[in-house]
Amino acid sequence: MKKDKFHGIKPLTVILLCISIFGIWHLWKTWVRNKKAKDKLQTLLPEIAGALSDFDLLTNFENYFSNFREQQFLQIKSALAKSIPRFYNEVGLSTTETELITRFLTCYKNLAKERADYNDLFVKCESKKYAYLFDSLETYPLSTDQVEAIVRDEDNNLVIAGAGTGKTTTISAKVAYLLEKKLAKPQDLLIISFTKNAVNEMYDRCMKFCRDIPDADQLDIRTFNSFGYFVTRFCSSKEVLLAFDGKDDEAKSFLQERFSYLFKNDPDFQKKAVNFIAFFNRPERDEFSYESKDEYLKYEKSHKNVTLDGKQVNSKEEVQIGNFLCLFKIKYEYQKHYPLQLEDRNANFAAYRPDFYFPEYEIWHEHYGIDRDGNVPSWFAVKHPFKTGRETYHSGILWKEAIHEKYRTKLIKTYSYENKENTLLTNLKKRLEGLGVELKKRTNEELYELIQQSPDYGDFINLIHTFLGLLKSNGKQPGDIQIPKEDKRLKTFIDVFTPLFDEYERKLTHEHSVDFNDMINLATSHIAAGDYPRTYKYILVDEFQDMSLGRYELLKSLRKRHPEGKLYAVGDDWQSIFRFSGSDISIITEFAEHLGFTSQSAILTSYRFNDEILKTTSNFIQKNPGQIKKTLATTSKATNPSFLFHGLELSGRQLLEKQTIKHQCIRHILEGISAIQSEAVVFLIGRYRHNIPTKLQQLKDEFPKLNIAFFTAHSVKGLTADFSILLDVDSGVFGFPSEIADDPILNAVLHESDKFENAEERRLFYVATTRARHRNYLLYDMLNPSKFVTELIQLNSNTGLMSQTRCPECNGILVKRTGAYGEFYGCVHYPQCTGKIAVNAVI
């Protein structure tokens, strides 16, 4: 039998033969792969070299390497990078060719880090290169922080600049740098601020810095309103008129006129308006939410607590009861003295005064501050021999009821929990009718007169006007407001607001006019539609902290029309004070989330005020956790106390007497300032225009060398004085903080991050206290001080107030007073709190 030709070959030999064949095949395949890859790579080498040349141009220290350019580079070179195989260094390319590819891939994959490193180095080189410019703009060279903020040229640039750090100088220097470096022509820049004064100052500064640059006078420097008006007129075929001539007072007058018309002619509107002003005008706050009696009394003092018929009461619930009685023509006396026989009197307690008394029916009324389980707020006083506030309060309830039973007097009772359950007035009505009390509805004429004369009417119109502006600035309608089911106050307000809003819009439509919010919104629409042909390489915004959602949308539309355009925003979230015109602080505190990749710089050296003012005001403003944390610095050292507190006993005095006392105090302060600095600039700062001293001109005449001027806390922003005198820093609806400005209703059209209590007012007070170089003087009513005064007192030792020893009754502040038996320290909340300490008891 013939043998197989493979017979006798060992299996190992077969395996080796197979491996050899496979190896040869693999080598051939690899050679073919590499040959193709090499050929392809060699054809790509010019493109790779071109990509590296592009990168070199981006990093040649001629310009800042922006995120837009990075993303553009990555997008354009993406296909090239993907076409390079990972085994490119194995295909037989020369060392030079391999290094070229390696450099490109390294650059591509690590471009973000390469860009960041380059930009840091660029800033240093550019700062030196243009030192001749930065050192010559002002009488002193710009700071390192300012120069870096100017040279960084990202797509979005946010410069956080503290008070007195030179925001206007920085923006104007940025303009000079852009034009000097020829990054843009004057026509390529749009420079925006928020007020006419700021725009005028910016224009003057830019003209000064760019005096040697051709066509610098063509710079477009405007307010947002002016720019919106310009774009709207440019893009509209019909004439555009400004509603109410742009005057808030005229707009408010129109709202008042329409309110009167609707009140007299629309029964449903009248009912809702009376309901809001009488029972929902004040924000609701549960007594159980306060931590101390001092906190409770401060809050109550910040509101008028005056009924429709002009009676001063102690709480919101008592205002509601008083208004109910007034609306139904029930005659009453508030806290009338209840006569007691000798055996029922107690020298340790004040006279018995029930909350209300109805003389026509000889009925007494007590309103008890307890919840449905009989509990009282934790801060209620504890008196011997009782161990808790609840026991003390309930012993009082039992005593009062025993008195009425003993004297056979009629007593009705209401409770705080009824107000929380929205049954207070319904139950009061039932109890009154059950005792034969006749309820008579007032006529329309009587209701109108009551509402018009109400101390809350002016606040209500202001709230309507503020809410309207905020609503329109956000591009919303009343129907867009989300009303929580449990928020009856907001629902009642919207019911009254909506007809007034409709009247306002009809007025504008009929007269073919637009208000400032319309201008911004219309301009945004025109730009987005391509109706406005002009584009800008750079948009520079001053006071960016005052940006509203409407203005933000305007900026977005401009950026979308020119994606390569850059935004340069300078601001200080600590000084965001225009939310009544729609500003949304979140746009600066969450800048990158809104606008994308951002380069953030900080200018933190203040040249305005000394270290004591800096420390005190910085601590004060950062009580709000929503503010951006930053540490300011100053080279100026305080040599004397920088906060002086002047408490005046004004409560209970006639208006003329109050004005005389304040005038004498201001005069005394000015005498002291004259002795320190004879030609000083002195600002008198009030929360409102009505805080202006009645004899201001007399003070100016008496101190001719002093430059004395009055400003509101809003209008003084951006200005500097040697000394500031803050007037009427008291509690109250028109105090400082102003309670009307922080009405929770506004939160329906505000960003959530700004819901810290008195957040806007805190920033406004910060602005007011950071105007002076050397010292702030604070004038306030000793018996009604602002909560901000008490905070600053705790931050300063030179106060003249008892800041260490607190009131034994409510834990409030004690002030030195004089009584029938000499001097003593009494509570600032008198007569609501009668706590006091003898002078010799204080160590």
Going by the annotation, the residues of the binding site for ATP are: 161-168
Asked if 732 and 784 count as a contact pair (C-beta separation under 8 A), the reply is yes
Asked if 158 and 600 count as a contact pair (C-beta separation under 8 A), the reply is yes
* Residue ranges of the binding site: 161-168
Q: Render the burial of 202-218: b for 16+ CB within 10 Å, e for the rest.
A: bbebbeebbeebeebee
Q: Which residue has the tokens 């005069």?
A: 667
Instruction: List the beta bridge partners of residue 817.
Output: 824
CA geometry: angle 616, 618, 621, nearest 5 deg? 110
Distance of CA 147 to the CA centre of its chain: 29
Provide the greatest CA pair distance for the chain.
148
Q: Specify the 3-state DSSP secondary structure of 38.
A: helix
The amino acid at residue 540 is L
Element (H, E) at 272: helix 267-275
Alpha helices in 138-247 (DSSP H): 144-151, 167-180, 196-209, 224-235
Tokens matching residue 394: 């309930």
Half-sphere exposure of 664 (CA within 13 A, CB side): 10
Of 685, 710, 705, nearest in space to 695 by CA: 710
Of 727, 264, 272, nearest in space to 460 by CA: 272
Distance of CA 131 to the CA centre of its chain: 37
Give the span between the Cα atoms of 728 and 730, in whole angstroms.
5
Of 324, 295, 320, nearest in space to 420 by CA: 320
Asked if 263 and 273 count as a contact pair (C-beta separation under 8 A), the reply is yes
Q: Render the burial of 11-22: b for 16+ CB within 10 Å, e for the rest.
A: eeeeeeeeeeee
Nearest 10 degrees: CA dihedral of 221, 224, 226, 232? 120
Beta strands in 729-830 (DSSP E): 772-781, 802-806, 813-819, 822-827
For residue 650, CA distances in Å to 62, 101, 460, 647, 750 come to 66, 82, 27, 9, 36
> For residue 208, which phi and psi values (nearest 5 degrees)?
-65, -45
Tokens matching residue 655: 């208006």
Angle of helix 167-180 versus helix 196-209 axis, rounded to 10: 40
Q: Specify the 3-state DSSP secondary structure of 740.
A: helix
Element (H, E) at 197: helix 196-209
> For residue 306, which phi and psi values (nearest 5 degrees)?
-120, 130
Tokens matching residue 301: 């003092």
CA dihedral over 489, 490, 491, 497, signed as positive or negative? positive
Q: List all residues 6 or more positions away from 351 whose beta carbon is below 8 Å from its beta carbon.
A: 337, 338, 340
Give the span between the Cα atoms of 62 and 532, in whole angstroms.
32
What SS3 string covers 93-123? CCHHHHHHHHHHHHHHHCHHHHHHHHHHHHH
For residue 618, CA distances in Å to 28, 591, 622, 641, 764 come to 75, 22, 6, 16, 13
What SS3 string covers 420-486? HCCCHHHHHHHHHHHCCCCCCCCCHHHHHHHHHHCCCHHHHHHHHHHHHHHHHHCCCCHHHCCCCCC
